[in-house]
Amino acid sequence: MARVTLILPEKRVFSTIIPIQISDINYGGHLGNDRVLTIMHEARLRMLKKMGYKNEVDMAHETGMIVTDSVVVYRAEAFHGDQIRVSIAVDDFNAYGMDFFYKLENTESDQEIARGKTGIVFFNYVKRKVSRIPEDFEERLKSMHAE
């Protein structure tokens, strides 16, 4: 079976530290695969808040984000108490959305734990249909710099 390859864009626009909690640990004693998506989601929400949005659902005129697809490639284990740096890049824009790319690294060892991608489209939650990217989103994104 062919392995998934995920190439990350070079320019990262945001970075945050997320600690691995006991609820993130699976029966194998390490970070659970399902929790990686949760960590990516938390990092994306932190980025949006830094951009001035209060959440992912109400960003502009009844419009928010919705995830259309996701990919995760696991590289190494992470354990309870580890501090994970999650760096985000945004690329592959179209009229309705883009891809968010994530790199998860152990802050102590710089070892890559995982990398991932979520496809995002904007969605009008009142009309229940896909919507164009809000006018100010790209301007707010341009003002971001990875920490």
Q: What span, in angstroms and rounded, lies between the C-alpha atoms of 115 and 127?
A: 34
* Strands of the chain, DSSP E: 14-19, 63-74, 83-91, 97-106, 112-124, 129-131
Q: At the fourth CATH level, which superfamily is domain 14-139?
A: Hotdog Thioesterase (3.10.129.10)
Q: What span, in angstroms and rounded, lies between the C-alpha atoms of 83 and 123?
A: 33
pLDDT of residue 146: 57
Total-model pTM: 0.94
User: What mean pLDDT comes out for the span 103-125?
Assistant: 97
pLDDT greater than 90 at residue 22 = yes
Cβ atoms < 10 Å from Cβ of 145? 10
Delimit the domains of the chain by residue range: 14-139
Bridge partners (DSSP) of residue 120 are 67, 98
**Percent of the chain surpassing pLDDT 70:** 98
pLDDT greater than 80 at residue 145 = no
